[in-house]
């Protein structure tokens, strides 16, 4: 199964610059398509499509590391997808929790898709509040991910501060996750250069 292969550290091939964090890149590759589907409307996530063979995707290629952020590209269906990501600096304690990752993705038909992989499954219709300085940004959820309702507004807020905190309902009570935004502006510029608007 493709998802299982992505998370097996021995099988993911990436450039030497990104060798130390293969799980993050694999996670970002999985997050990017979900963010693209979920971003346009502040409505509940659509039902999953029937199971089908996954589209062929080339592995991630590093653009660079910018303080606490990494930037990379991958090819999916002949199209280049660019994304920047960071791992939570502090994450709320949830038993059995997976990695907590914040990702911003550019696709040919969708820009500024901002997503958080929570490392646990959200309850149905859960909402996440992301604080970036004075801005409080709304994210909605689908399974193990949360998506910004307004991607461009979220990116603008991230450019003005040094960290952001996501507050969400967890399986056993409220959860707060903090992400560094040091290097975000440079990582965002790198993915914008690699995937310029059309």
178 or 27: whose pLDDT is higher?
A: 178
Domain limits, the chain: 2-41+63-194
**What's the DSSP call for residue 124?**
T
pLDDT tens figures, 17-32: 333 344 444 444 344 4
- The shares of helix, strand and coil residues in the chain, as percent rounded to the nearest 5, are 25, 35, 40
81 or 40: whose pLDDT is higher?
A: 81
pLDDT tens figures, 113-133: 999 999 999 999 999 999 999
pTM of the model: 0.72
pLDDT mean over 47-71: 70
Thinking of the domain 2-41+63-194, which architecture would CATH place it in? Sandwich (2.60)
pLDDT for 46 equals 35
Question: Contact at 8 Å (CB) between 157 and 132?
Answer: yes
pLDDT at 144 over 90: yes
pLDDT at 48 over 70: no
pLDDT for 192 equals 97
Across all residues in the chain, what is the average pLDDT?
79
pLDDT for 190 equals 98
The DSSP result for 45-114, as a single string, is PPPPPPP-PPPPBPPPEEEEEETTEEEEEEEETTEEEEEEEEE-SB----TT----EEEEEEETTEEEEE
């Amino acid at each position: 199964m493709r998802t299982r292969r992505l998370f097996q550290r021995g099988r993911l091939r990436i450039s030497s610059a990104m060798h130390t964090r293969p799980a993050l890149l694999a996670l970002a590759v999985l997050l990017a398509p979900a963010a693209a589907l979920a971003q346009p409307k502040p409505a509940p996530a659509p039902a999953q499509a029937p199971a089908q063979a996954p589209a062929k995707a080339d592995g991630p290629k590093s653009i660079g590391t910018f303080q606490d952020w990494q930037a990379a590209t991958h090819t999916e269906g002949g199209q280049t997808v660019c994304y920047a990501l960071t791992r939570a600096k502090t994450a709320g304690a949830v038993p059995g929790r997976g990695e907590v990752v914040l990702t911003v993705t550019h696709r040919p038909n969708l820009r500024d898709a901002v997503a958080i992989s929570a490392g646990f499954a959200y309850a149905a219709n859960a909402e996440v509040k992301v604080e970036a300085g004075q801005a409080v940004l709304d994210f909605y959820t689908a399974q193990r991910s949360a998506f910004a309702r307004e991607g461009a507004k979220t990116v603008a807020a991230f450019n003005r501060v040094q960290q952001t905190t996501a507050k969400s309902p967890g399986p056993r009570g409220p959860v707060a996750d903090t992400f560094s935004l040091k290097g975000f502006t440079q990582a965002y510029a790198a993915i914008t250069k690699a995937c310029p608007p059309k």
